[in-house]
Structure formats: C-alpha cells, structure tokens
Structure 1
Amino acid sequence: NVYEWVINQQGDVSTWMGMQTSVPEPQLPTLGNIKTYEVQSVKQVDDGMWQADVQAEILRPKSIGPDRSHLPGIAIATFDTRAASYDLGDIKVPASQVQRDLSENLSMAFTQSGRFRVLDRSYLADIEKELQTVSQGSIAPEEMARLGQRKGADLLLVGTIEDFQIGDSDREFYGAKMGGYDPYVRVRYRLIDTTTTEILWSDLYEWDKPEATIRAMAREQKIDDRNHPERLADILYPEIARAIAGDATDVLYPVQVIKVDGETVFLSQGQGRLEKDGIMKVYRPAGEMKDPDTGMTIKLEGEALATLKISDVRPDYGIARVEGEAGALQVGDRVRPDKQAQNASEQPAGQAATPGSSEAPLKW
C-alpha cells in the first residue's frame, strides 16, 4: 500500500497521503497523469514499510487560452455579516442573499481585471464547512489564510458586511407616509497573503450617496424606485465589487498608461476595474527612498499631471480622454480614481436638474 507521496517540483515540496492503492496509479491527486516512471531505489524502513525513490514524467494540462499560471491565485471568502437580514425599502432580504450576490460580483470583478486566477467557489466550500464561518461568526485571518493556502490560493479576500440598507418607509409629511431613500452600505475587507499570513491591504468601503443619486440611478435603469427598492441592490453590487477589487488590485497591479494618442489615453486595465465616465488622476513615479525607521521602500510620486475621464471600457483595457490642461503624459504613468471629484459631482437630495433649474431668483 502507498502510505505517502512526496512531490518535489522546482524546490517546492507538497505531500499527498493515502492508503488506497496497492500499486502506483497512473493518476494521483495534484500530480495529473503520469506518462512514465522509474523506481530508482528501494529500502526497507521497518516491518511492512518500504521507501522508494521514483522518477516520473508528468503530463500537465495546457490551457486553451493564454497561459495564466504565473498569475497569483485569489480565493474570495464569503463575507461575514452583522445582521440576519437587511432592509431594502419595505422588503427584508436575508443576509445570505447579500453575501452570495456580493461574492459573485467580486469574483466577476477580479476575473475581469485579468490580473488574477480566481479560484472556483468549491475551493472554499470545505473551509466554510469546517469552520462554519457563516453560522458561528468570523475566525482569525491567519487561520483562514493557512487553509486558503492548502486550497491553492496565493491571496485571500475576507471581509464583513457591516451595513447594507437602502431606503426606509418611516417618513411622514402632513400625516402621509413617504418612502425615503437614504442608502448606507459599509463593507470592511482585508487582502491576505496566504504564504506569510500578512495583511497586504485593509480598508472600509462606504457607499453613502445622496438620495437624488439613487433616484437618478433608478430612472436611468427604468426601475420604479418607490415600489421596488430591492432592485436597486442589483445596481449597487457591481459598483461595490469594482471599488473593492480595484483598491485591492492596486496593491499589486496599479492602473498604468500604456499608450498616448493626442488627447486619447489608453489604460492597462478595463472591465472589473474601470467604470465609464469615471474621473481619474494621472501621477508619475518620482523615484524611491528608504523609510529611515522601517527600512521599507517608499515609492514617490509627483503632483497630478492630468485629469482623465473614462470614455470606453474594454475587456482588457480602458480608453480615457484628457480633461482640461495637462502635462505631457507618457507610458508608465500611474492612474488612480479621483474620489474627491466624484463626491463633488453628486447632486443634493431632491428633484433632478431641469433646463430651467437655477439658484437665481425667478424672473417673470
């Protein structure tokens, strides 16, 4: 019987243990198909136990598309929740549905970024079953990172959905109840290196936009926002996922300028990272220096060179137009969202602007 297989590959050592075979099988877990093998030496360890050195030629599957084996593998854990359900208008949605929908959109955003191998949800099924993360609360990130590494993940995204509320029906105006739309979404997340269990990035995502923005989104999508606020959540999930995936991706792969053609700028990332009409700032690396306290490398950047507006988003890249005056841009310049500009563009709560809207007094 085979007691233990020790696999050596490029200095890495992994182990598969089992006692199911009487002879080496042509297929072994994690090894793939064995084309040929040769027993080089055999020695007896104790009664009934022998040790053999075997050299084998392994057939490995080849991907139909481009080779992605060099990309880091990321597993997205089901985010914890602080409540059993969330209010979307007059409708209560189970926390499990919010968890599932957010997880699916995060997987989509990371996949579309083209920078990661997103591991299938089945890779985390055993982890979640073993630790019962949903029913018994969160666990230490270090422990989940170790389990994620066992499942083949280089990176692990974990988090907590602290709030996910859209709308309320408690407002009254001269005795009449009116449905309001005060959205409040808070998601705290961490990106963990499973090898070192180091937290590479940690942040709090807050989606707290004015009520008028919600209604404008509903009108654009032809949603009856007064009676079906739960459908607004379908618009929020992709936006939340893009923001979280974008910030996490920037830790390893910041968006860069890959081509400049006059006022048109081509960017290194597209779907899953960029959003049409998004406002971005361009920065140029200005060298590196050592932190005198930690010895870590600090990457310097100069002032913003230009403001870009995303005009088109393709699967593998984005296209932007230069807004206003700009310095000479070049390949390799870094690009980040201009969050201040996006917040300033939000309208105050109330009716949408019309051709006659103005802060000036009316003139008859």
Structure 2
Amino acid sequence: MRTIARHGALAAAGLLCLSALTACANEASSTASSGKGDGKGTKVKIMVGGLDKVIYLPAMLTQRLGYFDSEGLDVELLSEPAGVQAETALVSGQVQGAVGFYDHTLDLQTKGKIVESVVQFSHAPGEVEIVSNKASQKITSAKDFKGKKLGVTGLGSSTDFLTKYLAVKNGVKVSDFTPVAVGAGPTFIAALEKGAIDGGMTTDPTVATILDKKAGKVLLDMRTPEGSQEALGGPYPSSSLYMQTDWVNGHKDTVQKLVNAFVKTLNWMSTHSASEIADKMPADYKQGNGILYAKAIGSTLPMFTKDGVMPENGPETVERVLKAFNPNIKNAKVDLAKTYTSEFVEKAKG
C-alpha cells in the first residue's frame, strides 16, 4: 500500500508536522496512562487505515459485537484513508494503536521506531490489482506495468509496497511506472473511470463495486492464502493491530484486553456467514446495496486468521518482499522478533 526517496522526504515532513501536535499527542498519552476515559472503561484510541475497508473489518466489528465493552475498554476508532497515515498518527503519539498492515513494523524499525503487531488479523493481503477496461488489453500481467499510471491508496502505503514488489518481481523497475495516490472507494473508482490511472491496487468493497459497475477487471487477486502464495511466494500477514513497543510494555493489561476482544471477533467471524457479518456492520457501509456488501465480505473472508496468530514464515515473506524494492530495508538488518509478539494472543487463546 511506497516512491522510495520521495516517500522518505514526505514521511519525514509528515512526522515533523504531526509531532508538532503536542496537545493532541499529550492528551492521548495521558488519557491512556491514567487508564480512565469517560466512565465507560479504560480509554484507548486506535487509528484505522480506512474503517470501511473489509480488510480492516475486525476493528468496527469488535466494537459492534460489544467485545471492547465486555473487556472493560472504551475504544475510540478513528479513520484515515491509507495505512501510512494511521502509521504516522501512531508514531506521533496521537493514538495508542493502529490497525494497518504488518509490513509497516519492518519499515518503521529501519527508521528507529520500534512498533509491534500484537494480534494478526490476516495471512493474506486482501488486495486486488484492478485494470480499467480501456487498459485491459495492454495490461495482462505485472510485466506490463512499465509506462503505466497505477493507483495506490497513498504513497508509502502497503498498496504502494505491494505494487512495487509485483513490478520488480516481473522485471519492471519502480522508476518505470507512476504510482498515483487515489485513496479507495469513490476516489479510486473515479480515477479508474476517468483514465487518471490505468489500474491500481485496492480492496473490497471497492473491488465489488468496480466489478458490479463493469468499470474494470481483476488482474491479480490476493484475497486468499492461495492468491498470496502465487503472487508473493508465501503467506503475507497484512491487517493487524500494531502499537509502539514501549507503550505495550507499559500497558500490558490494556493490551491483553484489546487482544482478547479481537481474538473473540476473529473466532466469531470464522463461524458466521458473510451476510451475518454484514448485518452487524454500520448501515452506511453497505452504500445502499446490502447484497453487494455481503458479497464483498465473502470474497475477502479467506484472508482472515481464526485466532490472531502470526502465520508461520509470514514475517520472512514480508521481509523478502520489502527487500526486493526498498533500499532502506534491503541495506538494513531487521530484527523480525521485534516486529510482532505472540504473548497476548497465546493468553487470549488459552
């Protein structure tokens, strides 16, 4: 969901700007440290890289099922259109947790920020490479990315990461195509229909809407473990709850409650149909078409774990993918053991 040198400058600027928001950051930190919210329980703020995206569905579903409340938590879910923005909110101290792709933990480590996934929602990216009808004859595989404009949710996002990897894997240099930040949902669809992009990487429900409108075609489908294996060579742990390690170590009781709630949700999802899950979600997520929304959930369900456990060899796959195109990671030693922890998931399972 990343241009490398260009992103480095943008990310640095973004972090400086957000770091200046000391009032917001200090408020978030003090609220969580005190363990008090507004009387409902321990207050925790979590930034999600798109609350209405199916790949991050466990965040809102956990709240709708009442599992945060049952754990004595008052969780405030916030939303940004791209995972990289959720990452920035986390490292700036505005929130205590981020729901986004696990690969950000590796990227951040090379920048001196130690964060870790505390519960892994998925073992596949849940992403789909879509091409416009007009470009479908010219783009039949990732080998055809050269010279094309390809949509990503944001520069430096995991869709940006995966697009670059697919290009490099198929002999196309990252400088040979143009990544375009178009977000998701209506903005992605509009860019595809107007020709602002030739194709792009996105998730459900955007994928379902594009196919329903016959506005584009699927080029690569990574919504299943099999699709991840074919495109990326192994399981690709993606959506997760990740947090700054120092905060985790200082608030283990709160983190355990969060993980307990999410593991309950993942287990609930594994025993209920897409329609039943859709019925639990906010009505506006369906955008007036409940059947299409349930279909979108059904197409993406295979990406989710049932217990929040990091898939075996998943971190290694992510590292290999990032090293293929990201010089920051390629030339750095990443300590994978510091990018995730199984401590809380194991206790939640027990």
Shorter chain as denominator, the TM-score bin is under 0.3
Q: Whose Rg is larger? A: 1
Length-normalised TM-score, structure 2: 0.24
Which protein has the bigger helix share?
2
If each structure's strand is expressed as a fraction of its own residues, which one has the higher value? 1
TM-score (norm 1): 0.23
RCO comparison, higher one (Cα < 8 Å, 6+) = 2
